[in-house]
Structure 1
């Protein structure tokens, strides 16, 4: 999958980019899929799964088109790493094949819905363990070995970039960034935060960003924040500092619940899309380089459309 012209990445332009929203929560609560271990990647090999993904992504890409925005098209691979795959009965060869198929499927979606748009295929890497609880933290070297396999598959399959979403700790993020740097792939690191605005390890976002940048010869292209409500970290941004210029993307939760509460939730908390849109506008005033907008748990196409409306009105 080659491109005649190198597409611009979000940190290389001031164009607005959209992402999708709470993919897994949408598939679970809106589409009713049974998802052991919160993993949707096995559904890539079913007609129902592919149809649901197509139906899910189409309106996001249409919203991007209407807003003259670029689109970051995620592969369905947040859980497609060895630990989770083993729990689901997949071996290493099968896992590599699934990651390749996910990139190819994203390519099909780009062809079908993204003509004439700047659509970047984004190889998604999730945490090795629980996205909310960094019970065991790898060293950066271990993380580079562990996640490097998936990064390599994405590089060989023609992904435009990779993003590590819902990262809970610095060494794991460093490992992904180094692996991507070795393969010449643009890399995005997205940290998740608790209700106190800190990483699950207790570090501040400023410390985490500085820590990853310092540990990488080839630094991540930019940083994001995902899976946290704007109320939980806005105050910390007001302190300012050079690090806030490294943040280009935000995928917030609709819900104000803590991660522990979300884990226990049987009903989807989809918050208030209009309110969330206004909160994104407030955050653009604190994050001067913010140009990637999407959602996380509990959000869907309605939230992203409201975010666009609010940003344009502002």
Structure 2
């Protein structure tokens, strides 16, 4: 059996929706950061994943870049506070769950839409905005930066460079269309190699359908850094491919089904980390952790 991979958490939005917090524009996942009741709910979501077996929890910084916060009406002087608050919630959850060795990753998303590469701004804007985020995260208490759900190589490289320049441990993850290419048409492997050259210490694919996982992992194999995956587990048959849903969608896989699939991917590709994205609940993570324990004891 290969060395056990690190187990990631599941979907923060999925957990918030299960707690009764709808994903309403423009705030979406950032809504809980506005008040104490919201941050308490967010801590509970993080803690439930940690208690289920995750040894990395992703802070809810996904929609706290300066562009997104400005659109929500947050003054410039208050924006860094939202980023730090999100990381603090993840750190608090680690204490609540009694998992001091779990890592806290700060999520860095595209500054525009994860699935619409045509909206990606010019390089100067990207460098400025990702530089701001990296600067805030540098003293936030996060253990690493997860540049994730990236839809263009260009933005992914700039975001990685900004974080590495601040001395931050940096991973990168891409959203892919068919397992081989990003939404803008760039090849996944070439995008990953460019980010490794820029200083990323791990690469992954995320928010992709489970059927695309093997092909994506084939493209990421042999890059010289740990590789991971955290797919979308939602049953999206009633929606367009990237259509947003304010309500909770049912999972396409049961927890045992997900655990078996993820274990197979980890064994076949020697994964360094594995988890789930949208639609992944604590029960899925618990089943995955139990699967690893069973195989280790066999």
Q: Which TM-score bucket, shorter chain as reference?
A: 0.7 to 0.9
Match among 197, 201, 204 for residue 224 of structure 1: 204
Question: Which residue, 25, 29, 53 being the options, matches 1:36?
Answer: 25
Aligned mate of 1:143, from 126, 138, 141: 126
Q: 1:305 to 1:99 in 2, by over 3 A?
A: same
Output aligned runs, 1:81-120, within 5 Å.
81-115=65-99, 117-120=100-103
Look up the match of 1:184.
167
**Which aligned pairs between 1:199-214 and structure 2 lie closer than 5 A?**
199-214=182-197
Normalised to the residue count of structure 2, the TM-score between the two structures is 0.86
Partners of 2:221 and 2:273 in 1: CA distance: 20
1:95 deviates by 1.0
- Give the match for residue 160 of structure 1: 143
Q: State TM-score, norm by structure 1.
A: 0.82
Q: Which moved more, 1:219-228 or 1:83-92?
A: 83-92
Query: Which of 90, 97, 115 in structure 2 is aligned with 1:132?
Result: 115
* Structure 1 stretches of at least 4 aligned residues deviating more than 6 Å after TM superposition: none
Gaps of 5+ in 2: none
Runs of 5+ in structure 1 lacking a partner? 1-13
Cα offset for 1:254? 1.0
Query: Which of the residues 257, 263, 277 maps onto 2:259?
Result: 277
> Matched residues in 2 for 1:158 and 1:30: separation?
26
CA deviations over 1:2-33 (Å, ceiling 9, x no partner): xxxxxxxxxxxx56422221111332355243
Q: Would the aligned equivalents of 1:29 and 1:268 in 2 still touch at CA under 8 Å?
A: no
1:287 corresponds, among 238, 251, 269, to 269
Give 3-state SS (helix, strand or coil) of 1:212's partner: helix
Does structure 2 retain, via aligned residues, the 8 Å contact 1:169–1:200? yes
